[in-house]
Amino acid sequence: MRDNVLKAFGAILLAGVLAAPVLVSAGPQPQPAPQEHARHPVIRESIEKIERARHDLQDYADHDFGGHRAKAVEHLDQALKELHLAMNYDRH
């Protein structure tokens, strides 16, 4: 019984010694420099949501709803244009 306990303790100790260098090297990493896509996350998320809504209206709507679906797509296109202009404005 004592031999089994010593073997188990030895195995745990050996695993700890072998894992220590890996754990130390996996410490905090320096933050990468901010990239362009990290700017204006709210505008970027809004663009993605509007693009998904536009896609859903065009591909999955049952019918045109008396022209209102097409008009909604036009408004979504205008919103996308304005958001892209806002992002470009901030670059200048």
Domain ranges of the chain: 2-25+36-91
User: What does the pLDDT read at residue 2?
Assistant: 64
**For residues 43 and 86, is the Cβ–Cβ distance under 8 A?**
yes
pLDDT at residue 55, rounded to an integer: 96
Report the pLDDT value the prediction gives residue 20, as an integer from 0 to 100: 61
Torsion of CA 20, 25, 26, 32, to 10 degrees: 170
- Asked if 83 and 43 count as a contact pair (C-beta separation under 8 A), the reply is yes
* Predicted TM-score of the model (pTM): 0.58
- Output the tens digit of pLDDT for each of the chain's 92 residues: 666 656 665 666 556 656 666 555 666 667 665 555 578 999 999 999 999 999 999 999 888 999 999 999 999 999 999 999 999 998 76
Q: What is the dihedral of CA 70, 57, 74, 36, to 10 degrees?
A: -170
Cβ-contact 57, 73 below 8 angstroms: yes
